Amino acid sequence: MIRPGKMIREVLSSLFKKPATTEYPFVKKELPDGIRGKIKFDSDKCIGCRLCMRDCPANAIRIIDKGEKQFEAEIDLGKCIFCGQCVDTCLKKALEVTEEFELAVTDDSKLKIIYDKS
């Protein structure tokens, strides 16, 4: 059984404590080093070896040959687990991890990003 005196003491003590939560959407926190966010693709560096496709555990990357040593990447952020293996595997450093992590959308089609030369 809860004693009223104990409950009042608890309520009064919590009035003077700092809140346990943060004001995240309004006050941005400093990101930790090494955060793995959205993958960025540089078509000028890509040689079309497709090692990133083979190494991706989630099958989230497709490299498409556009002819004459031109390639585009289709990255499905809905499948991506942001492990960074594709970035580590890329021989020419055509893939890069960014710090962009706020990727929530209401339409699934917006999660497929096509990086091309144009």
Q: What is the pLDDT of residues 63-95, one digit of tens each?
A: 998 888 889 999 999 999 999 999 999 999 999
Q: Which residue has the tokens 């809905």?
A: 78
Q: Which residues pair with 113 in a beta bridge?
A: 75
Average pLDDT over residues 37-57: 92
> pLDDT > 70: what percent of the chain?
97
CATH topology of domain 30-115: Alpha-Beta Plaits (3.30.70)
Query: What are phi and psi for residue 109, nearest 5 degrees?
Result: -65, -20
Domain boundaries, the chain: 30-115
